Amino acid sequence: MGSIALACYANAQRNPRAVRHGRPLTREQYHASRWIVEPFHLFDCCQENDGAAALVITTPERARDLAGKPVPILATAQAKGPEIGLRAFQGGWFPGMFCADVGRTIWERAGVKPADVDVVQMYENFTGPVLMALAEMGFCEPAEIEAFVGDGRLEGPEAEFPFNTSGGNLAEAYIHGFEMVNEAVRQVRGDSTCQVPRVELSLAVGGPGYGPGSAVLFGAM
């Protein structure tokens, strides 16, 4: 979980908009921070922030006449388990993150695999559900998750697995994850503050732990 928090804070240092810009986080600070409720330290939890984010969605024909570089929506997916609301977290459904069906659906609709994605923005109001959702989306097996996120593999534009490049909910701002959809678009346009080279597929995953789960995949023109 610390690797998720450290990646978000590291990437936020490149983003002047981020509320944690100029306030980097070390692994020692992460582990020394107070417990909120075990296993969550202070830095495993997002802040509350005021702000706004928006998208303009239109047809490809109209988009070509707009000033900004158009970014196509290649596929979307939304799914929930057999229950919704508080009951969804009880019984046999927990600890599912509502992302397994989302992952299968979006890869099928887009005709790509998780390994084809160049950069991922994943909602993280808490760090723990991110680990579970990454596995459910098909990026790795559950037993592989520690190695998958560890050793700085998520940090910076040249990361092995570019992740939450604006700083995410933890370190950019908690605008309920919508600002991360904007960052997914920026990555395709090439104007992120933590720009990953040669982005053709950019994924935003909404709300691990909430039903329904959702995801949107953006691509280059």
Catalytic residue list contains 9: no
Burial category of 178 from C-beta neighbours within 10 Å (exposed 0-12, middle 13-18, buried 19 and up): middle
User: What tokens appear for 79 in the block?
Assistant: 């799914």
Which candidate, 195, 196, 188, places its Cα nearest to that of 216?
188
State CA 106 to chain mean position distance: 15
* DSSP category for residue 48: P
Q: Which of 9, 30, 123, 210 is catalytic?
A: 123
Cα–Cα separations (whole angstroms), residue 143 to 104, 131, 135, 147, 148: 19, 11, 9, 9, 10
Catalytic residue list contains 210: no
Active site positions, annotated: 123, 174
